[in-house]
C-alpha cells in the first residue's frame, strides 16, 4: 500500500512541478489555487496542499541555487579579467593575485574567460525568463544511470532506488486537528493510519477512507516532546520513505517553532561564551569568562565530511550535539561563531592550481553548519552570536597560541582562534596587553599584562604622572606616543569594532 500510494502521489507531484516550472515568473496565487484544485480531484484537499507546498519549496531552492551560480560566475570572471590585465609573471601582493606564470597559461585563461562569459549569459537569460532546472529524485542519482559500472550499481538496483526517491509520502500538519495531522495520523501508541487518495479509496480497511498499517512506530529521539504536541493537537508534519539498501521503511516527524524569544546581547554575554572555530574536519571550542579569559582546556569535536550527503549531515549533527551538551554543562548562555562565507573563495580562478586548498575551503560546512546550529541551539535554549571573521585566525595565533601552550597538552592554532572569536563576541579586543617594560624605563615591573575591565578608562589611556626628574627628552608624566596607541609598535590597531548579529 505504501508503494501504491507513493507512486500515485509521486506522479502527481512530478506533474505539478513541471507545471510550476512552466509558469515561471508568471506564478501567482491564482495559478497556485488552480493547480491545487486540479490535484484535489485526483487525491484530496490536504494531499494537494502538501504537494503544492513541496513544489513551491523545490522551485524556490532551485532559484536560489541559480543565483549562487551567477555569483560564482561573476567572481570567476572578475578574477580572470584582473589577472589577464597584469604582466605575465607578476608576483602580486598580499590580498590580491598576481599575473599568470607564462604566455601559454595567459592564452588558456583567455579561452576560459570566454567560456565563463558564455555561461554567465546563458544562466542570466534563464533567470530573467524564470526557468530553473529541477530533477525529482536527485541529479546525482539521475546521472548514475548513464554509467552504472562506475557507480557500482545494477540496473535493477538503480531502478528501485530511483523510483523510491520519486515517491511522495509527505503530509503537512494542522493545528486543532486530531493528533495534529489528518492525512498521516499517528496515535500516541504508534498506530499509523493514512487517508487514501480518491482513486485508491477502494483499498481502505478503516472508516472514512483510511488505511491502517499493521506496523507501529516509535520515536526514541525527542519522543516525549512529540507526544506532548500530538496530545495538544498541535501540527506535526510526517514523511514516510523507503531505504532501498536496507529494505526498511522510516517515518520522520517534524514541526516548526514559532515566536522564539529575542534575548538581548548583554544577557547572552553574562557568564561568558563558548568560542567556536570552524575547520574542514573539526570544531575547535574554548570556554571564556565574561572578561575574555579562557577557562580550562579547549575541546575538539571532529567530523568526517566524506561520503554521501546523508552521512555528512549525520556527522555534522553529531558534532554539534556534543558541542551543545558540553556548552550546557559549562552554564553559558551563548555560543560565538564566525559568520563565514566562502562564495568567492572556492572558485578555481582565485587560487589557480592550488586544488588542495580549494578543496579545503569548499569542505568547511559554513552554510549547513549555520542552519543546523541555529535550529539546534533554539532547542537547547542557547543563543548564537555571529562575529566578523576578519583576522581571527591570524590574531588568535599571534596573541593566544603561545600563552595557551604553556601547559600540556599544547593548544593548536585553531583553538587559539576560538579564543579570538569568543573575545570579539564579548566585546573585548583580541590582542593581549603588551608585556611590562624592564626596570628603570619609566616605570617598574608591574601587572600590565593583566586584563582590565571593559569600561576602565585607563586601560589604554595615558600613563599617570610619575614624580621625579624628566627622562630622556620628554616629561616624566607621559611619553610622546603614550596616548596615540596606533603610533606604537603594534601588530594591528588597538581595537576592532564588534560586528555581531544575534539569532535565536
- What is 282-338 written as a DSSP string? EEEEEEE-TTS-EEEEEEEEE----S-HHHHHHHHHHHHHHHHHHHHHHT-SEEEEE
Which pLDDT score, from 0 to 100, does residue 356 have? Answer: 59
Which pLDDT score, from 0 to 100, does residue 67 have? Answer: 94
Which pLDDT score, from 0 to 100, does residue 286 have? Answer: 93
- pLDDT at residue 482 is higher than 90: no
- pLDDT at residue 436 is higher than 70: no
Which pLDDT score, from 0 to 100, does residue 312 have? Answer: 78
3: left (phi over 0), alpha (psi -120 to 50) or beta: alpha
- pLDDT at residue 55 is higher than 90: yes
Residues 141-164 pLDDT 10s = 999 998 999 888 999 999 999 999
Average pLDDT for the chain: 82
Binning pLDDT at 50, 70 and 90, where does residue 430 land? confident
Cβ atoms of residues 171 and 181 within 8 Å = yes
Which pLDDT score, from 0 to 100, does residue 493 have? Answer: 43
Residues forming a β-bridge with 248: 243
Which cell goes with 123? 544562466
Query: Cβ–Cβ contacts within 10 Å for residue 163, how many?
Result: 16
Which pLDDT score, from 0 to 100, does residue 441 have? Answer: 52
Residues 379-396 pLDDT 10s = 888 888 888 888 888 888
Residues 284-297 pLDDT 10s = 999 999 988 899 88
- pLDDT at residue 101 is higher than 90: no
CA-to-CA distance for 241 and 250, rounded, in angstroms? 6
Positive or negative: CA dihedral 21, 22, 26, 28: negative
**Which of 61-70, 84-93, 104-113 bottoms out in mean pLDDT, i.e. has the lowest?**
84-93
Check residues 445 and 123 and name the one with the higher pLDDT.
Answer: 123
CA-to-CA distance for 257 and 266, rounded, in angstroms? 24
| Range of 79-88, 381-390, 429-438, 457-466 with top mean pLDDT | 79-88
Determine whether 230 is exposed, middle or buried from the number of CB atoms within 10 Å of its CB (0-12, 13-18, 19+). Answer: buried
CA-to-CA distance for 363 and 348, rounded, in angstroms? 14
Which pLDDT score, from 0 to 100, does residue 328 have? Answer: 92
CA-to-CA distance for 86 and 392, rounded, in angstroms? 31
Residues 467-481 pLDDT 10s = 555 444 444 444 444
Residue percentage of the chain with pLDDT more than 90: 51
Binning pLDDT at 50, 70 and 90, where does residue 271 land? confident
DSSP strand pairing (210-216 vs 191-195): antiparallel
**Which of 111-120, 226-235, 408-417 bottoms out in mean pLDDT, i.e. has the lowest?**
408-417
Determine whether 381 is exposed, middle or buried from the number of CB atoms within 10 Å of its CB (0-12, 13-18, 19+). Answer: exposed
Cβ atoms of residues 432 and 399 within 8 Å = yes
Domain-by-domain residue ranges, the chain?
Answer: 2-134, 169-254, 265-430
User: Average pLDDT in the 271-280 region?
Assistant: 88
CA angle (484 as vertex; 478, 487 as ends), nearest 5: 115
Residues 317-366 pLDDT 10s = 888 899 999 999 999 999 998 887 645 455 555 555 555 555 555 556 65
Which pLDDT score, from 0 to 100, does residue 367 have? Answer: 64
Binning pLDDT at 50, 70 and 90, where does residue 440 land? low
Secondary structure letter of residue 53 according to DSSP: H
| DSSP codes, 418-469 | HHHHHHHHHT--SSPPPPPPPTTBSB----TTSPPPTT-GGGSSPPPP--SS
Residues 4-39 pLDDT 10s = 999 999 999 999 999 999 999 999 999 999 999 999
User: Three-state DSSP class for 78?
Assistant: helix
Which pLDDT score, from 0 to 100, does residue 501 have? Answer: 41
- pLDDT at residue 499 is higher than 60: no
- pLDDT at residue 444 is higher than 60: no
Cβ atoms of residues 165 and 137 within 8 Å = yes
CATH of domain 265-430: 3.30.420.10
* 51-59 contacts at long range (C-beta below 8 A, 24 or more positions apart): 51/9, 51/12, 51/13, 51/16, 51/168, 52/16, 53/172, 54/13, 54/168, 54/170, 55/13, 55/16, 55/17, 55/20, 56/20, 56/32, 58/17, 58/134, 58/136, 59/17, 59/20, 59/21, 59/132, 59/134
Which pLDDT score, from 0 to 100, does residue 40 have? Answer: 95
User: Average pLDDT in the 426-433 region?
Assistant: 79
- pLDDT at residue 492 is higher than 50: no
CA-to-CA distance for 194 and 189, rounded, in angstroms? 16
Which pLDDT score, from 0 to 100, does residue 316 have? Answer: 84
Amino acid at each position: 500500500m505504501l508503494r501504491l500510494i507513493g507512486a500515485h502521489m509521486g506522479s502527481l507531484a512530478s506533474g505539478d512541478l513541471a507545471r510550476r516550472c512552466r509558469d515561471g515568473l508568471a506564478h501567482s496565487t491564482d495559478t497556485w489555487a488552480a493547480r491545487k484544485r486540479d490535484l484535489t480531484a485526483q487525491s484530496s484537499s490536504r494531499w494537494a496542499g502538501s504537494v503544492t507546498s513541496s513544489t513551491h519549496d523545490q522551485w524556490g531552492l532551485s532559484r536560489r541555487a541559480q543565483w549562487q551560480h551567477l555569483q560564482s560566475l561573476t567572481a570567476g570572471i572578475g578574477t580572470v579579467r584582473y589577472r589577464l590585465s597584469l604582466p605575465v609573471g607578476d608576483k602580486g601582493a598580499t590580498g590580491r593575485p598576481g599575473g599568470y606564470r607564462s604566455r601559454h597559461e595567459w592564452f588558456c585563461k583567455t579561452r576560459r574567460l570566454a567560456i565563463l562569459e558564455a555561461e554567465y549569459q546563458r544562466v542570466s537569460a534563464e533567470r530573467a525568463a524564470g526557468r530553473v532546472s529541477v530533477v525529482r529524485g536527485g541529479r546525482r542519482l539521475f546521472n548514475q544511470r548513464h554509467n552504472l559500472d562506475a557507480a557500482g550499481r545494477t540496473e535493477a538496483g538503480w531502478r528501485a532506488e530511483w523510483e523510491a526517491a520519486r515517491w511522495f509520502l509527505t503530509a503537512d500538519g494542522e493545528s486543532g486537528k486530531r493528533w495534529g495531522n489528518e492525512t498521516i495520523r499517528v496515535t500516541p501508541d504508534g498506530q499509523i493510519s493514512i487517508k487514501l487518495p480518491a482513486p485508491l479509496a477502494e483499498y481502505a480497511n478503516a472508516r472514512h477512507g483510511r488505511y491502517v498499517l499493521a506496523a507501529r512506530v516509535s520515536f526514541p529521539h525527542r519522543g516525549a516532546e512529540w507526544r506532548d504536541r500530538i496530545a495538544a493537537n498541535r501540527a506535526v508534519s510526517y514523511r514516510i520513505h523507503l531505504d532501498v539498501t536496507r529494505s526498511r521503511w522510516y517515518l520522520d516527524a517534524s514541526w516548526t517553532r514559532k515566536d522564539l524569544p529575542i534575548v538581548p546581547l548583554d544577557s547572552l554575554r553574562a557568564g561568558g561564551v563558548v568560542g567556536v572555530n570552524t575547520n574542514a574536519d573539526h570544531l575547535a571550542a574554548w570556554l571564556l569568562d565574561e572578561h575574555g579569559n579562557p577557562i580550562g582546556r579547549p575541546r575538539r569535536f571532529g567530523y568526517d565530511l566524506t561520503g554521501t550527503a546523508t552521512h555528512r549531515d549525520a556527522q555534522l549533527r553529531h558534532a554539534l550535539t556534543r558541542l551543545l551538551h558540553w556548552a550546557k554543562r559549562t552554564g553559558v548562555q551563548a555560543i560565538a561563531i564566525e559568520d563565514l562565507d566562502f562564495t568567492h573563495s572556492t572558485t578555481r580562478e582565485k587560487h589557480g592550481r592550488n586544488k588542495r586548498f580549494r578543496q579545503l575551503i569548499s569542505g568547511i560546512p559554513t552554510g549547513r553548519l549555520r542552519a543546523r546550529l541555529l535550529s539546534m541551539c533554539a532547542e537547547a535554549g542557547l543563543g548564537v552570536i555571529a562575529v566578523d571573521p576578519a583576522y581571527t585566525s591570524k590574531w588568535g595565533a599571534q596573541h593566544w597560541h603561545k600563552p595557551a601552550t604553556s601547559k600540556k597538552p599544547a593548544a593548536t592554532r585553531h583553538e587559539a582562534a576560538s579564543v579570538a572569536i569568543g573575545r570579539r563576541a564579548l566585546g573585548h579586543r583580541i590582542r593581549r596587553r603588551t608585556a611590562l617594560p624592564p626596570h628603570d624605563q619609566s616605570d617598574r615591573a608591574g601587572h600590565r599584562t593583566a586584563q582590565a575591565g571593559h569600561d576602565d578608562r585607563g586601560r589604554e589611556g595615558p600613563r599617570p604622572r610619575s614624580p621625579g626628574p624628566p627622562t630622556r627628552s620628554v616629561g616624566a608624566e607621559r611619553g610622546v606616543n603614550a596616548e596615540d596607541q596606533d603610533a606604537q609598535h603594534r601588530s594591528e590597531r588597538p581595537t576592532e569594532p564588534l560586528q555581531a548579529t544575534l539569532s535565536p
